[in-house]
Amino acid sequence: TVLNSLNHDMTLAEFKFIWYMEYSHRMWGRVVGLAYILPAAYFWHRGWLSPPLKGRVLALCGLVCFQGLLGWYMVKSGLEEKPDSYDIPRVSQYRLAAHLGSALVLYSASLWTGLSLLLPRHKLPETHQLLRLKQYAHGTTALIFLTALSGAFVAGLDAGLVYNSFPKMGERWIPDDLLAFSPVLRNIFENPTTVQFDHRILGIASVTAVTALYLFSRKIPLPRRTRMAVTSLLAVACMQ
């Protein structure tokens, strides 16, 4: 097989390391699923969930199961024999991005649900500036999500190995092979150079958007909790 021909010198210890990494990931995913479904069933049975919360809990549990199904579907793509290819066996970058995107949605929805139950909502006057801040925060969230998904394409294609200099890619700001594939749209998802270039641009755009969000928030009277959240967001973005 392709796997054997490309990894014929792999030792048993190296194989075990990869195998246990995958096994641990699967087991941890199942533990996460049980941590959702078992308490949800218990709270539902005890009548501790309000009607709106029941719908949200059902959606979260369904998303947990869907996430596991996506993981299986993703791994399956890396085990398929490709007679015409002698490249390193890897999972589909499309399925990897779907698996990561689903995980981010699940985590974000879980965190949002938990915080909405633990912390009462602030009642603030709906000023023009506050509405603009909300809209900008939602746009920044979408940009960060898109940046993370582009990272999945980088990982799926090993695009990080193509250029290892920053801010230039090699000796150029814009690489020669940026649009080497035809049709042009394929480059965004399948050309490692374009995928890495897009990820860099999105990453810089995300940090810029978070910084602008922070600076804009400083001009508006906000509760202490909100200020802490925006400041923490900026700190994590810079660290990332």
Which comes out higher in pLDDT, residue 9 or 235? Answer: 235
pLDDT tens-place string over residues 143-157? 999 999 999 999 999
Alpha carbons within 13 angstroms on the beta-carbon side of residue 101 total 16
Q: What pLDDT sits at residue 2? A: 47
Q: Would you say residue 89 has pLDDT above 50?
A: yes
Label residue 84 by pLDDT band (50, 70, 90): low
Return d(Cα 140, Cα 47) in angstroms, integer: 38
Return d(Cα 188, Cα 194) in angstroms, integer: 6
Label residue 10 by pLDDT band (50, 70, 90): confident
Label residue 192 by pLDDT band (50, 70, 90): very high
Q: Mean per-residue pLDDT for 76-83?
A: 72
Estimate the share of the chain in helix, then strand, then coil, as percent rounded to the nearest 5: 70, 0, 25
Q: What pLDDT sits at residue 91? A: 84
> Is the full-model pTM beyond 0.75?
yes
Contacts of 90 (CB under 8 A, 6+ apart): 78, 156, 157, 158
CA distances from 35 to 28, 55, 123 (A): 10, 18, 33
